[in-house]
Chain A
Amino acid sequence: MWQVYFKELTELMRDKKTLIFVILLPIFIFPVIFGVMGLVLSSTTNKAMQEEHRYVLVNAELAPQFADALFYHKNFKQIASDKSTEAELVAAIRNDEIDVAIIIPADFADKRSSAEQAQWQIIYNQSSQFDFMYRYFSELLTSFNEQLQRETLTKLNVDQAKLAAIIKPVDVKKVDTADKRENIGEKFGAVIAYILIPLCLLGASYPAIDMGAGEKERGTLETLLICPISRVSIVLGKFLTVLTTGLVGALITVGSFGIWGAIIGSFAGMAVVQEAMSAIAITELVLIFSLLLPISAVFAALLLAISIYARTFKEAQNYISPLTIMIFLPLVAAMMPGVELNSKTALVPIMNVALAIKELIKGTADYMMLALIFGSTLLLAAVAIGFCVHWFQQEKVLFR
């Protein structure tokens, strides 16, 4: 078995594709995710926040304080226009002449004096990814509303000291019990698992294909089968090699995740991420790796079984593609809001590992639950290996 293992490992070490998938990809995927995507997201957000919105305010003279506030706001630019109806303004937005139009009704002053509520209209394209414009508008309108309330109440001789309580009888002060790490873990923990687990599969895929279907295609399998070692030893040697590459890939990925998370957080304007990352202890990274171990064994056994069944490298790739898609289903489920780690989800393969990784990153992992996940995944791995060994002894599989 060890002869097979060391020989397979030697061949893999000399293979460029394996080096790319097992070593380079895990090393560089996190800088790409944390760095490039983080930078793109932050630059897009900044751009959206600083964007200037061209506007038309119809009947501005009826609300001069609001008109002034809008005029002097850095994100709004007034456009001179004689358009005043809804249809005209919608057309102007569609023709990209303006970005937003606010219509103050002509009877606004009358409604105010008769203490009736007025309804303004804001017209704009709401399909934008970041709706900062409406947020700015709401802030101005809230302030304007408050101003009008104060004026009205002052006219009614209400005590100035009590104005704040009358205008806003209830105020809320938020006290967040989640620390920054828990917040970050909740938001990004599942995403990290979403990257780590497929990388374990990806790292093991190519070697598995090469050691099963590849051997068939090259004609080396037949020669190997007539050596005086048992087929169990052959398959276990191959399995251990696939597992090793999957785990090396996972180890590099976890290491890369820890190191790059801390480094990039500092210079990409993601100090919160850096802080959260530095709070994750080595023990937790080791536990993440420990959870990846049995799931990698499951992947290794399944990939090898599929690969041994296939006649050619290409056929094996075709069989493995659906497996790759299938593992994303439990991963996506683990990312769903409200999906928590409990005694039921702890028994759903892949999903349980993803949820456990999320809990570990949040720093809220229940160690009994982790043991349950480790045990159940290990059991699954044993079944998968057993199947692979059985499969490898079938003539109809080996000589299809």
Chain B
Amino acid sequence: MIEIQDLAKAFALSKNNKLSDTEKQDVRYSKDAFHSVRNVSFSCGSGEVLGLLGPNGAGKTTTLRMLSTALKPDAGSVLLNGVDVLKQPVKARQQIGFLSADTGLYGKLTAYENIAYFGRLHGMRETQLKQRIDELFTLLNMHDFANRRADNMSTGMKQKTAIARAVVHSPKVVILDEPTTGLDIMTVQTVLDFIKGLKAAGTPVIFSTHHLDEVASLCDRVVVIDKGISAFSGDIHQFKALSNNADLREAFLSVLKGQVITQQQGAA
């Protein structure tokens, strides 16, 4: 279970920084700070997949970074299966499987070594690690490039390796930042099937995406972040209802246009 309440994060602006006219109009900019996330709240239960939507620069990545403990929130709380990420960051990290927007692999290490490194950092024993990596290689169809260095991998291979690395320690919570961006259809399908597998295993999954078809086929819940606030938070049916079940693009745009202004906390 992931519970996020009133999350906020601001970044100090340089004293020499002069705001452009567009930035002056943006409510997130104050004199000396950029309020990347102003108020985000949502939750995701066991076996649920939550799609995090929003335009570029809306605050999705900052939200995910706070969830993953990479950034400390200025306000609000994040509970992962009851563990407060602010009070017990190391314990929270043990539960998290995080895939950043960059594949984030070490180029000079092979697929196996990249995954094993993170497994060891999570305290996995060698025999357990070997078994788990073998399992992931089969699940993600990675045996062919197990010993290939990341520098020599295709985008799809890198993404599979990055996903395997994110879940090598069998995390209780999985956070994926745009996991299908730039991938070919076959690899996208593998990734989506993998997420379905996590869902089936009862793992809560949060993933940010711009692909609404993926949201339609995978998600139980949807959160739309716009200008640092969760402009919509509800289940997929509520989201679809915003456009009278027409299409999700319309629902998404209606949220951004401000037609939906209340947060659907009741449904959370």
A binds B: yes
- Which candidate, A3-11, A32-40, A62-70, A342-350, is the interface stretch facing chain B? A3-11
Residues of chain A with a CB closer than 8 A to B166's CB = 223
Chain B nearest CB, measured from A8 CB (Å) = 9
Interface residues of A (CB under 8 A from B): 3-4, 7, 10-11, 14-15, 218-220, 222-230, 395-396, 399
Tell which of A7, A219, A229 touches B104, judged by Cβ atoms closer than 8 Å.
Answer: A219
A228 and B83 CA atoms in complex are apart in Å by: 14
Contacts A/B (CB < 8 Å), 12 sampled: A3-B117, A7-B113, A10-B108, A10-B109, A11-B109, A14-B108, A218-B102, A218-B106, A219-B101, A219-B102, A226-B70, A399-B70
Pick from B90-98, B194-202, B217-225, B237-245 the stretch touching chain A. B90-98
Cβ–Cβ < 8 Å partners of A230 in chain B:
90
With known contacts A7-B109, A14-B108, A228-B122, A223–B98 Cβ distance under 8 A:
yes
Q: Which B residues between 97 and 140 are near A, CB-CB below 8 angstroms?
A: 98, 100-109, 113, 117-118, 120-123
A226:B106 contact, CB within 8 angstroms: no
- CB neighbours of B12 from chain A (8 A): 396
Q: Is the CB of B108 within 8 A of A226?
A: no
CA distance A11 to B109 in the complex (A): 7
Asked if B104 contacts A226 (CB within 8 A), the reply is: no
Task: Tell me the minimal C-beta distance from B187 to chain A in angstroms.
Answer: 18
Q: Is the CB of A229 within 8 A of B121?
A: yes
Known: A11-B108, A218-B105. A228 touches B121 (CB 8 A): yes
A3-B120 in contact (CB<8A): yes
The residues of B with any CB-CB pair to A shorter than 8 Å are: 11-12, 65, 68-72, 90-91, 93-94, 96, 98, 100-109, 113, 117-118, 120-123, 149, 165-166
Cβ A11 vs Cβ B68 within 8 A = no
B109, closest chain A residue (CB): A11
Instruction: Determine chain A's interface SS by DSSP, over half rule.
Output: helix
4 more contacts with CB within 8 A, not counting A10-B113, A222-B68, are: A7-B117, A220-B105, A395-B72, A396-B12
Measured CB to CB, the nearest residue on chain B to A2 is B120
Chain A residue with minimal CB distance to B166?
A223
Across-interface contacts of A218 in B (CB, < 8 A): 102, 104-107
Asked whether, in the complex, the Cβ of A399 is within 8 Å of the Cβ of B71, the reply is: yes
- Select from chain B the residue with minimum beta-carbon distance to A15: B108
CA distance A175 to B181 in the complex (A): 82
Q: Give the docked Cα–Cα distance between A395 and B89 (Å).
A: 15
Task: Report which of B65, B93, B103, B113 forms a contact with A227, defined as CB distance below 8 A.
Answer: B93
Q: Are A222 and B109 in contact (CB under 8 A)?
A: no
Contact assessment for A222 and B93 in the assembled complex, using a CB-CB cutoff below 8 Å: no
- Report yes or no: B90 in contact with A228, Cβ–Cβ below 8 A: yes
Task: List, in ascending order, chain A residues with CB within 8 A of B103's CB.
Answer: 219
CA distance A228 to B69 in the complex (A): 10
- Report how far A219 CA is from B12 CA in the complex, Å: 22
A72 to B104, CA, bound (A): 80
Would A225 and B102 be within 8 Å (CB), given that A10-B113, A15-B108 are in contact?
A: no
* B65/A222 in contact, CB under 8 A: yes
Q: Which residues of A contact B106 (CB under 8 A)?
A: 7, 11, 218, 220
- Nearest CB of chain B from residue A196's CB, rounded to whole Å: 29
How far apart sit A224 and B71, CA to CA, in the bound complex (Å)? 13
The answer to whether A222 touches B100, judged by C-beta atoms less than 8 angstroms apart, is yes
What 10 A-B pairs come out closest when comparing CB atoms?
A: A219-B102, A219-B104, A228-B93, A227-B121, A11-B108, A14-B108, A220-B104, A228-B94, A223-B104, A226-B68
Residues of B within 8 A of A395 (CB): 71-72
Residue of B nearest to A4 (CB): B121
Distance A4 CA – B98 CA, assembled complex (angstroms): 19
Name which residue of chain B comes closest to A221, CB basis. B104
Given A227-B93, A228-B93, A395-B72; A219-B121 close (CB under 8 Å): no
Q: Which residues on the A side are within 8 Å of B101 (C-beta)?
A: 219
Q: In the bound complex, what is the Cα–Cα distance between A395 and B68 (angstroms)? A: 14
Give Cα A3–Cα B120 distance, bound, in whole angstroms: 7
Which residues of chain A are within 8 angstroms of B11 by Cβ–Cβ distance? 396, 399
- Most chain B beta carbons < 10 A, residue from A14, A15, A227: A227
User: A396: which B residues are within 8 A, CB to CB?
Assistant: 11-12
Closest B residue to A218 by beta carbon equals B104
B93 CB contacts on chain A under 8 angstroms: 226-228
- Residue among B70, B90, B107 making CB contact with A222, cutoff 8 Å: B70
Residue of A nearest to B94 (CB): A228
Query: Is B118 within 8 A of A223, CB to CB?
Result: yes
Contacts of B100 in A (CB 8 A): 219, 222-223
In Å, the complex CA distance between A22 and B113 comes to 24
Give Cα A9–Cα B102 distance, bound, in whole angstroms: 23
B17 to chain A, nearest CB (A): 13
- Nearest-CB distance from B234 to chain A (Å)? 28
Question: Which residues from chain A contact B91 at a C-beta distance below 8 Å?
Answer: 228
Q: Which residues of B contact A225 (CB under 8 A)?
A: 69-70
Chain B residues, Cβ within 8 Å of A399: 11, 65, 70-71
- Say how far B135's CB is from chain A's closest CB, in angstroms: 20
How far is it, in angstroms, between the C-alpha of A224 and the C-alpha of B27 when the chains are bound?
Answer: 33
Separation in Å of the B61 CB from the closest CB of chain A?
10
- Minimum Cβ distance to chain A for residue B18 (Å): 18
Alpha-carbon distance between A399 and B166 when the two chains are bound, in angstroms:
21
Q: CA–CA, A230 to B89, complex, Å?
A: 10
Closest to B116 in A: A7
Are A226's CB and B120's CB within 8 A? no
Residue with the greatest number of chain B CB neighbours at <10 A, chosen from A14, A220, A223, A229: A223
Question: Distance in Å from the Cβ of A46 to the closest Cβ of chain B?
Answer: 49
Docked Cα-Cα span, A399 to B62, in Å, equals 11
User: In the complex, what distance in Å separates the CA atom of A274 from the CA atom of B34?
Assistant: 66
Residue in B closest to A219 when the chains form the complex, CB atoms: B102
The smallest C-beta distance from B117 to any residue of chain A, in angstroms, reads 5
Task: Choose among A3, A10, A219, A226 the residue with the greatest number of B CB atoms under 10 Å from its CB.
Answer: A226
Smallest CB–CB gap between A30 and chain B, Å?
29
Contact indicator B71/A227 (Cβ below 8 Å) = no
Q: How far is the CA of A15 from the CA of B107 in the complex (A)?
A: 10
Most chain A CB neighbours (cut-off 10 Å) among B90, B104, B113:
B104
